[in-house]
């Protein structure tokens, strides 16, 4: 592997406590890691030189929540919601039907195209969930396919109860915690449950997460998307790495999160496309809660692959400063995935970074909808 020096950087966001932001800077990547950064004038030589043309360099985004293995789309549902219809968890089943019918090649080509879309928008670490198979072979193949795209794979057999178990939910929970978990755990880092109205109850969630923890998987939860519930307290009690959505939070939820290591994953693409209220992130940040921003890219509630779009929404609608929103989409995402090697550009970090066609990260929110990513590095390799 060769070393690279990126020069002529207008502003550099490192997230290093000593020097979080620099101007007129350079950065050196070597052996896939950040080796040096500092003033342009002091930049050491490297095998390759890249000219940032005065643009901003910041860490690649860490998208800690996505559902990329699926077939078909549900644009008809989106249109109906824009005309006033409510989002229901049940729509998931129509994607399950199409996804079961799709070949491995179709599923992988759809997911790879979405990963490429994400990359073009600055995302370098991606969590991918199963959840549109809901049978032992289909969940296992989704996770096998997901693990060819990322190491951050999540078993979400408990997305909804599939139609064939509608009359016997308990049997489905037994399947998820038994044979399905056995087939999926080897391809999964995490286990997740959609704990909400129309999906799984708190008791069911406790059993499913407990079974996953016993198999050595880490816990994540979908909670409080559709209504206030005990899901957030349960996530904290179970030591989940994150509880995502958090659209409807009680004061007790905020208190519990603030004293915990559970990250609140905020998914403004969902609020945008379901017309639920945007989360008051200020309330969470002021209470000391760690927040992550993620796309939740899926065909139902949020069919966006764009973290810049999520950042713009967070700044416009959720009370976050641009720095808070960018931090939530980098460091926050890394914390949600319990990773310390990504989401920042301290010396020694993975060389996952992006160069913008804009002088400052503030432009990510200031210029919504504009493709500002000039170049992306993953493990020190310039992919774009």
Provide the annotated binding site for N-formimidoyl-L-glutamate.
Answer: 132, 298, 300
Residue 226, CA distances (Å) to 235, 284, 339 in order: 16, 18, 29
For residue 292, the minimal CB distance to Fe ion (Å) is 13
Q: Tell me, by CB under 6 A, how many residues bind ligand NIG.
A: 12
Among ligand NIG, Fe ion, none, partner that 162 touches (CB below 5 to 8 angstroms by kind): none
Angle at 152 between CA 146 and CA 155, to 5 degrees: 65
Stretch that binds ligand NIG, among 26-34, 234-242, 246-254, 293-301 (CB under 6 A): 293-301
For residue 136, the minimal CB distance to ligand NIG (Å) is 20
- Compose the 251-280 pattern: x for residues touching ligand NIG by CB under 6 A, - for all others: -------------------x----------
Q: Return the residue of 301, 305, 322, 335 that touches ligand NIG, per CB under 6 A.
A: 301
Structure token pair of residue 224: 């409080």
**Which is nearest to 226 in space by CA: 75, 64, 88?**
88
For residue 274, the minimal CB distance to ligand NIG (Å) is 8
**For residues 27 and 4, what is the distance between their CA atoms, to the nearest angstrom?**
8
- List the beta bridge partners of residue 22: 12
Look at strands 4-13 and 48-51 and give their pairing: parallel
For residue 284, the minimal CB distance to ligand NIG (Å) is 18
- Neighbour order of strands in the sheet with 242-245: 61-63, 123-129, 152-158, 190-195, 218-223, 242-245, 263-266, 291-293
Tell me if 296 contacts ligand NIG by CB under 6 A. Answer: yes
The SS3 assignment for 380 reads coil
Residue 261, CA distances (Å) to 71, 238, 239 in order: 35, 11, 7
Residue 265, CA distances (Å) to 133, 183, 270, 308, 310 in order: 24, 27, 12, 16, 12
For residue 65, the minimal CB distance to Fe ion (Å) is 6
Q: Return the residue of 55, 300, 319, 333 that touches ligand NIG, per CB under 6 A.
A: 300
According to CB under 6 A, which residues from 54 to 93 bind ligand NIG? 91-92
- Residue 280 burial (CB < 10 Å; 0-12/13-18/19+)? middle
Smaller CB distance to ligand NIG: residue 195 or 257? 195
For residue 221, the minimal CB distance to ligand NIG (Å) is 11
Smaller CB distance to ligand NIG: residue 93 or 316? 93
Tell me if 194 contacts ligand NIG by CB under 6 A. Answer: yes
Structure token pair of residue 247: 């659209």
Smaller CB distance to Fe ion: residue 152 or 296? 296
* Cα Rg of the chain (Å, integer): 20
Q: Which residues bind Fe ion (CB under 5 A)?
A: 296
Structure token pair of residue 223: 């909670």
**For residues 285 and 172, what is the distance between their CA atoms, to the nearest angstrom?**
38
Smaller CB distance to ligand NIG: residue 165 or 200? 200
According to CB under 6 A, which residues from 216 to 235 bind ligand NIG? 222, 225
Smaller CB distance to Fe ion: residue 204 or 296? 296
**For residues 323 and 277, what is the distance between their CA atoms, to the nearest angstrom?**
22
Among ligand NIG, Fe ion, none, partner that 339 touches (CB below 5 to 8 angstroms by kind): none
Among Fe ion, ligand NIG, none, partner that 270 touches (CB below 5 to 8 angstroms by kind): ligand NIG
| Known binding residues for Zn(2+) | 65, 67, 222, 296
- Compose the 91-110 pattern: x for residues touching ligand NIG by CB under 6 A, - for all others: xx--x---------------
Tell me if 204 contacts ligand NIG by CB under 6 A. Answer: no
Look at strands 48-51 and 33-39 and give their pairing: unpaired
For residue 46, the minimal CB distance to ligand NIG (Å) is 42
Site residues for ligand NIG per CB under 6 A = 91-92, 95, 194, 222, 225, 270, 296, 298-301
């Amino acid at each position: 592997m060769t070393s690279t020096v990126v020069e002529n950087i207008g502003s550099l966001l490192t997230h290093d406590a000593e020097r979080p932001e620099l101007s007129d800077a350079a950065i050196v990547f070597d052996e896939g890691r950040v080796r040096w950064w500092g003033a342009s004038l002091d930049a050491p030589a490297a095998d390759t030189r890249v000219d940032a043309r005065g643009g901003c360099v910041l860490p690649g985004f860490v998208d800690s929540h996505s559902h990329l293995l699926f077939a078909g789309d549900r644009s008809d549902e989106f249109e109906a919601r824009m005309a006033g219809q409510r989002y229901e968890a049940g729509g998931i089943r129509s994607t399950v039907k199409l996804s079961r019918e799709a070949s491995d090649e179709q599923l992988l080509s759809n997911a790879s195209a979405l990963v490429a879309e994400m990359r073009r928008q600055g995302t370098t670490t991606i969590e991918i969930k199963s959840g549109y198979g809901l049978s032992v072979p289909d969940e296992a193949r989704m996770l096998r396919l997901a693990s060819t795209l990322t190491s951050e794979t999540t078993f979400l057999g408990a997305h909804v109860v599939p139609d064939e178990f509608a009359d016997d939910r308990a049997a489905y929970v037994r399947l998820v915690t038994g044979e399905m978990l056995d087939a999926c755990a080897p391809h999964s880092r995490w286990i997740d449950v959609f704990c909400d109205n129309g999906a799984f109850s708190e008791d069911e969630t406790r059993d499913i997460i407990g079974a996953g923890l016993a198999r050595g998987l880490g816990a994540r939860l979908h909670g409080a998307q559709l209504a206030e519930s005990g899901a957030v307290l349960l996530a904290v009690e179970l030591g989940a790495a994150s509880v995502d959505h958090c659209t409807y939070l009680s004061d007790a939820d905020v208190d519990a999160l603030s004293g915990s290591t559970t990250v609140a994953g905020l998914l403004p693409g969902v609020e945008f496309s379901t017309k639920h209220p945007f989360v008051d992130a200020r309330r969470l940040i002021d209470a000391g809660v760690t927040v992550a921003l993620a796309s939740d890219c899926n065909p139902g509630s949020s069919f966006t692959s764009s973290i810049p779009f999520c950042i713009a929404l967070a700044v416009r609608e959720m009370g976050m400063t641009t720095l808070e929103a960018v931090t939530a989409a980098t460091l926050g995402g890394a914390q949600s995935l319990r990773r310390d090697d990504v989401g920042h550009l301290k010396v020694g970090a993975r060389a996952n970074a992006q160069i913008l066609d804009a002088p400052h990260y503030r432009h990510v929110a200031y210029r919504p909808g504009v493709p500002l990513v000039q170049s992306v590095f993953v493990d020190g390799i310039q992919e774009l």
